[in-house]
Amino acid sequence: ADALDAWKRQPAQLVIADWNLPDGPGTSLLEIAHRSDASVPLVMITARSDRDSVLLARRLGINAFISKPFQVPKVLETLRPLLSPKHDEPADAAVPATGGFLPFLAGLPNSALDLPLHDALLQQLHKPDQAPQALQEHWQNDPAVHARLIAAANSASYNASGQPCISLPEALRRLGPGTVLSLVQGLALRPVAALQDDDLKRLGDEQFTQARYLRQRIEELCKSARIDAAAMSSAALLQRMGELAVLYQAQCWRHAGQALDDETLGSALQRCSGDLANRLKSHWRLPTPLRELIGACYALPPGNSKRDPVIMRLACAELQGGSEQELDRLYRLAGIDRGTAR
């Protein structure tokens, strides 16, 4: 009641509410604020993570979902983009009234770029009482989660040592289960969280599948070489981040009622994927060692003497049908017996 009185006297620029308030549910406060001014960002803080609660939060148009227990750095990280002067509506719904899809991609601010969640993870998040430990199997296969958690683990709030985090296991250790769950739930609460149209889902599944095949082959090669595969596994899942970023924006474009044909989409995938991938890496400040591993999928750096990039390139060359001469050379550089690495 106090918050509603304050809102009536002077509407706020942002509303943060606990789910359980002394005299009623926080959802009622957020619903009233949203009806009064749909542009005001809404943040829900709660210990709930069950399916019905998450779905209700999505219906209310809540912009961020912070799970208890939480740390202050997580709250600050959540609020910064919501308090931006440009925050008139969710970034992934900001579609220009005129112009085509390719100019739209070129004009997007880096803060509006993102990756879709895989539908399998989204379905798991909507199941009741899902704990972080139970969801870890699905996180391990989702590029969006890898990128966001690694980016968060490298932020000043969670990287006191200054050592770069380049793998999901290390990110999970640094962030802790509460922060991890909040970040993942935040991804699930976006107006466009996953690919929905049949053609985009098909193309997205192809990208997800290729990334997972690459990850599986890298882990097999690392086992043969007896080296840790954690960082290379994350790099493998992120190799297709540019294509997934294009597909995510295509879904946002259509979600806003804009038409997008197959030819234009194909052109965007071919011409814009590399640029969006580089912009995302920069915006999320992914560490240089991780970027180098992703880059090795396409070509080895000149004068490279490290085994990890060689194994990245070797796995890609195998899956893409590289020449026997290239494969033999890469196996030698990796120090792996080709006859036993099957």
* Top-confidence residue, 324 or 135: 324
Nearest to 68 by CA among 142, 156, 176: 176
Bridge pairing between strands 42-46 and 64-67? parallel
How far is residue 255's CA from residue 260's CA, in Å, rounded to a whole number?
A: 11
**Cβ partners under 8 Å of residue 161, min gap 6:** none
Residue bearing the bigger pLDDT, 123 or 276: 276
Burial of 322 (0-12, 13-18, 19+ CB in 10 A): middle
Mean pLDDT in residue range 49-57: 62
What pLDDT does residue 129 have?
60
Closest to 167 measured CA to CA, from 178, 175, 156, 177: 175
Which of 253 and 8 is assigned the larger pLDDT? Answer: 253
pLDDT tens for each residue of 304-331: 879 999 999 999 999 998 899 999 999 9
3-class secondary structure, 60: coil
Query: How confident is the model at residue 48, as a pLDDT?
Result: 63
Average pLDDT of the residues of the chain: 85
Confidence of residue 132 (pLDDT cuts 50, 70, 90): low
**Beta bridge pairs of residue 42:** 15
Q: What is the pLDDT of residues 194-235, one digit of tens each?
A: 999 999 999 999 999 999 999 999 999 999 999 999 999 999
Instruction: State pLDDT tens for residues 230-286.
Output: 999 999 999 999 999 999 999 999 988 899 999 999 999 999 999 999 999 999 989
Give the predicted TM-score (pTM) of the model. 0.76
R_g over Cα of the chain: 22
User: How does residue 85 score in pLDDT terms, banded at 50, 70 and 90?
Assistant: low
Q: Inform me whether the pLDDT recorded for 105 exceeds 90.
A: yes
Question: Cα(first)–Cα(last) distance of the chain, in Å?
Answer: 66
